[in-house]
Structure 1
């Protein structure tokens, strides 16, 4: 069995890194990826290691503390320590330090895309200007950096219309309302108006899963048409109580901005909505809960173009990604 090894900061994890790992693991029976980290780095090493595991579950990822000189010999010793008695047969890099590093471990060295012809990018370039080089990020890194915008509101207040318009404007992904499709599937059951708390937990989990899946494809910003916090509000509406399990799920999620749509135009019945009697009261629930939980939110009003422009103005202010310091 041939053992391969490669090393890097993966800070952040870009398509050049992904090419290196994909090419290397195809040439050996087992590949180990060492992820160098320091406690002072802005992106934890554990996060970067998880990015790699997400795309390459068939490789072994080991975190290695960067408290030694950046020279081939010390890193060869640290690498052998991380391997715990195993000896690598082949070391893969796209860096000039690769040959002396491999030699110090007693391994053969293979360069992979040394001149960056397939993906002309580096971690340094990405850290300096993430927005310009966005498409060079791997999907897990995109999901990490993506700004998440959540559009919430009561029935017939324009949430989906606004979410779709924002996704089209930013040429990005948007997350549909999981609960709506869940309701469509159960609407013809006897006593369909009776809901269990477990169903709301399942809806909140499904909404979060859809969001995390689509975040992998987002273009700098992800537009979410509702979230588990809205599910918490709807539990109050249908069950008459708050649900701690759904609230816990909601508290685990992060959004850079909430956009609350005001019910300031006539109710429109689409065949699934309950009616407008509860709209104003539920709108106040949203305001109270967002405020109590100190969520950053704005309320948009007026016709669709006015709402869209107000939302774009706030989102644009979030999209100036600052440079990422190495340490």
Structure 2
């Protein structure tokens, strides 16, 4: 049985690592990937370990955290022996920097991408700017670095029109409001259980879509808006909403200075309750200390103001 080894920081894993690991998987009977982490690394070690487990389901993923990089090849070889018992037949690497380790372990060294000609990116380049290196980030890694912009605020403020317009402008995807889909399917007699189903489903869809969006994702509301609905409908929330922490990088809070239009799925059209809904929506952001910009004006101006806010926040 041929035992192959790949080791590195994988901080974070990129397309070069994927090419290396999948090629090696086909070339050996058993593959071990040794993930060596340090406290100063960009991404916490358990997160990287989970990514590698998903990317290479047939490999043995071994994680070790060390205080600093061993100064000599011999010291690193000792670390490998302690972490990966048994003989190692071949060490695979994308470059030649690890070649001194192989003879110390009685292994053959195989360099698969000399000079990064196949996958022209390095871990240092990814760490410098993950969004610039976006095409080289595997799907499991992308949600960690993607940016989210969430449209927030009461009904009939233009969110459903603004979300796709922003997605087109930034060449990415948007996630429609799941609550509308839910109400159209199951009716308007909502319970707290219905709101929990809406919030949880929207959060799950967000996590999924972040894996293949283009650097940023536009959200037409999120569970914080569903929590505002709970306050309006029942004057209380649910612990799940209070514990929700997958918040957006920026919220665009749409003002109520637009006419209210009844489309069959809306509730609060009179001015007093509409103002209360806006204040409730704003409170969801204020008490969590989340960044937001109020977007007001006629529909044709809201798009421009939203783009300006996204650019000013460094999310463009």
**TM-score of the superposed pair, with normalisation by structure 2:** 0.91
Superposition deviation, residue 93 in structure 1: 0.6
Q: Which residue of 2 aligns with 1:200?
A: 195
Q: Which residue of 2 aligns with 1:257?
A: 250
1:215 aligns with 2:210: yes
Q: State the alpha-carbon separation in 1 of the partners of residues 53 and 294 from structure 2.
A: 39
Superposition deviation, residue 16 in structure 1: 0.9
Q: State the alpha-carbon separation in 2 of the partners of residues 46 and 70 from structure 1.
A: 25
Structure 1 residues 125 and 320, CA gap change in structure 2 (3 angstroms): farther
Q: State the alpha-carbon separation in 2 of the partners of residues 54 and 200 from structure 1.
A: 31
Which stretch of structure 1 is more off in the superposition, 102-111 or 162-171?
A: 102-111
| Kept in 2: contact 1:200–1:246 (CA 8 A) | no
Which stretch of structure 1 is more off in the superposition, 126-135 or 217-226?
A: 126-135
Q: State the alpha-carbon separation in 2 of the partners of residues 319 and 220 from structure 1.
A: 12
1:300 aligns with 2:295: yes
Q: State the alpha-carbon separation in 1 of the partners of residues 54 and 206 from structure 2.
A: 16
Q: State the alpha-carbon separation in 1 of the partners of residues 92 and 307 from structure 2.
A: 45
Q: State the alpha-carbon separation in 2 of the partners of residues 64 and 161 from structure 1.
A: 49
Q: Which residue of 1 aligns with 2:237?
A: 242
SS in 1 for 2:99: helix
Superposition deviation, residue 68 in structure 1: 4.2
Structure 1 residues 305 and 136, CA gap change in structure 2 (3 angstroms): farther
SS in 2 for 1:63: strand
Q: Which residue of 2 aligns with 1:78?
A: 79
Specify which of 209, 228, 233 is matched with residue 233 of structure 1.
Answer: 228
Q: State the alpha-carbon separation in 2 of the partners of residues 274 and 254 from structure 1.
A: 25
Gapped runs of 5+ residues in structure 2? none
| Kept in 2: contact 1:220–1:319 (CA 8 A) | no
Q: State the alpha-carbon separation in 1 of the partners of residues 57 and 140 from structure 2.
A: 13
1:88 aligns with 2:79: no
User: Which is bigger in relative contact order (C-alpha 8 A, separation at least 6)?
Assistant: 1
Q: State the alpha-carbon separation in 2 of the partners of residues 82 and 305 from structure 1.
A: 61
Q: Which residue of 2 aligns with 1:36?
A: 36
Superposition deviation, residue 235 in structure 1: 1.6
Q: Which residue of 2 aligns with 1:324?
A: none
1:273 aligns with 2:274: no
SS in 1 for 2:27: coil
Structure 1 residues 140 and 288, CA gap change in structure 2 (3 angstroms): same
SS in 1 for 2:241: helix
**TM-score of the superposed pair, with normalisation by structure 1:** 0.88
Q: State the alpha-carbon separation in 1 of the partners of residues 199 and 22 from structure 2.
A: 35
Q: State the alpha-carbon separation in 1 of the partners of residues 226 and 298 from structure 2.
A: 26
SS in 2 for 1:139: coil
Q: Which residue of 2 aligns with 1:49?
A: 49
Q: Which residue of 2 aligns with 1:161?
A: 161
Q: State the alpha-carbon separation in 1 of the partners of residues 283 and 139 from structure 2.
A: 35
Once the two structures are superposed, what CA deviation does each residue of 1:172-209 show, in whole Å capped at 9, x if it has no partner? 1212222222222212xxxx51x332222222111111
Superposition deviation, residue 320 in structure 1: 6.9
| Kept in 2: contact 1:98–1:111 (CA 8 A) | no
| Kept in 2: contact 1:146–1:222 (CA 8 A) | yes
Superposition deviation, residue 256 in structure 1: 1.3
Which stretch of structure 1 is more off in the superposition, 147-156 or 177-186?
A: 177-186
Q: State the alpha-carbon separation in 2 of the partners of residues 105 and 224 from structure 1.
A: 51
Q: Which residue of 2 aligns with 1:127?
A: 127
Superposition deviation, residue 70 in structure 1: 4.7
Superposition deviation, residue 275 in structure 1: 4.9
